[in-house]
Amino acid sequence: MRLLQTTPTGPNKAAFGMGCGRRSSYPIFFLIGCVLSMSKQNKSIYSYWLAVPCLILYGLFFIIPAVMGLGLSFLNIRSFDFSQATFAGLRNYINVLSDSGMNIAIKNSFIFAAVTTVLKVILGMVLAVFLNNKMRTTNFLRTVFFLPAVLSSVAVGLIFTAMMHPTRGIINIALRAAGLDAMAQNWLTDPHLAIFSVAFIEVWKWTGFTMVILLAGLQSIPKNYYEVADIDGATVWQKFRCVTFPLVLPAFTNALVVNLIGGLKAFDIVQAVTKGGPGTATEVFGTLVYKSFGSGRYGEGCAASIILCIVILAVVLPIYRYLTAREVEI
């Protein structure tokens, strides 16, 4: 009888579990009713409240450190004892820009970013198109190609350092065994080859990640576009040029921008493999900043970081705006 009394009938039946004006004996129905009866305005406010924790974390771990780094770049500071810090003005920026290693770091960073971005995007697109087809081994191959992205950069660097050893490395041993002695090189000790060798390791590690981004874009393309292209007698290349690429351009833009930013601020793989050597052959922005902090020049290290940020924005934003302006909607 008690159950029957708490169950609304007639006109009140719609209010059961559907509104907040009358509290049900069942809390779950009461909560569902409250959510469903919220106005659009309340739902909008509710979504803003959900964003508050993200904004707090973003402020704590990005905004505050960025502002502190900007402030430190104008100080002459040798330790984090701020009582001994003195105002340096633009001296740290002048020292960084006039450093003989800065020009080398800029050149190597752009070479590294250009080589790795082009290769990762091209190879990632090829793999994404190939693995977008239904095959028995599709899921297995996707996992295999993506697996290097989850490996530690330090571990990958140490493994390839051993593989690229001039005399005991498996790459040169295999080349000599195949009778290709002329192709056996000092991959990491030759100043002319070192930056490209490290770039190859970066491409091996992150091509699978690029593939996943592009594969997600390919799978969002409706199949009827390809059916219409088949009816019109389009070739495979024509379908890719006129259907696939224009519609996958948003994913392509994201992949290109992510890889370009990653290439310009590369550090971990370079530090693990060559530490910027031999000499300054693989010196990049990241290793330059690391050495500034390592030698106790915190102000110059922060100034170099700010310069790196400005360079990345100056390179990436025009490319991003150019590509997004040519995107088409599905």
Distance (Å, rounded) from C-alpha 43 to C-alpha 40?
A: 5
Distance (Å, rounded) from C-alpha 143 to C-alpha 124?
A: 14
Residue 35 has pLDDT above 70, yes or no: no
Of the candidates 96, 63, 92, the residue with the CA atom closest to the CA atom of residue 75: 92
Distance (Å, rounded) from C-alpha 319 to C-alpha 265?
A: 17
Query: Residue 134 — very low, low, confident or very high, per pLDDT cuts 50/70/90?
Result: confident
pTM, two decimal places: 0.81
Q: What percent of the chain has pLDDT over 90?
A: 65
- CATH 1.10.3720.10 residue ranges of the chain are 96-324
Average pLDDT over residues 222-249: 92
Query: Residue 30 — very low, low, confident or very high, per pLDDT cuts 50/70/90?
Result: low
Distance (Å, rounded) from C-alpha 61 to C-alpha 82?
A: 21
Q: Give the CB-side neighbour count of residue 140, counting CA atoms within 13 A.
A: 3
Average pLDDT over residues 127-145: 92
DSSP state, residue 16: T
Among 3.40.50.720, 1.10.3720.10, 2.40.30.10, 1.20.140.10, name the CATH number for the domain at 96-324: 1.10.3720.10
Question: What value does the mean pLDDT of the chain take?
Answer: 86
Instruction: State both tokens at 62.
Output: 């990005």
Q: Report the pLDDT value the prediction gives residue 32, as an integer from 0 to 100.
A: 52
Q: Give the CB-side neighbour count of residue 139, counting CA atoms within 13 A.
A: 1
Distance (Å, rounded) from C-alpha 126 to C-alpha 214?
A: 10
Summarised one tens digit per residue, pLDDT across range 257-316 is 999 999 999 999 999 999 998 999 999 999 999 988 888 888 999 999 999 999 999 999
Average pLDDT over residues 235-240: 92
Summarised one tens digit per residue, pLDDT across range 190-219 is 999 999 999 999 999 999 999 999 999 999
Distance (Å, rounded) from C-alpha 192 to C-alpha 195?
A: 7
Summarised one tens digit per residue, pLDDT across range 166-180 is 999 999 999 999 999
User: Which position has the token pair 């009827």?
Assistant: 224
Q: Report the pLDDT value the prediction gives residue 10, as an integer from 0 to 100.
A: 47
Q: Report the pLDDT value the prediction gives residue 105, as an integer from 0 to 100.
A: 93
Q: Coil, strand or helix: which one is 43? A: helix
Q: Coil, strand or helix: which one is 87? A: strand
Residue 119 has pLDDT above 70, yes or no: yes
Among 83-97, 102-116, 147-161, the range scoring the smallest mean pLDDT is 83-97
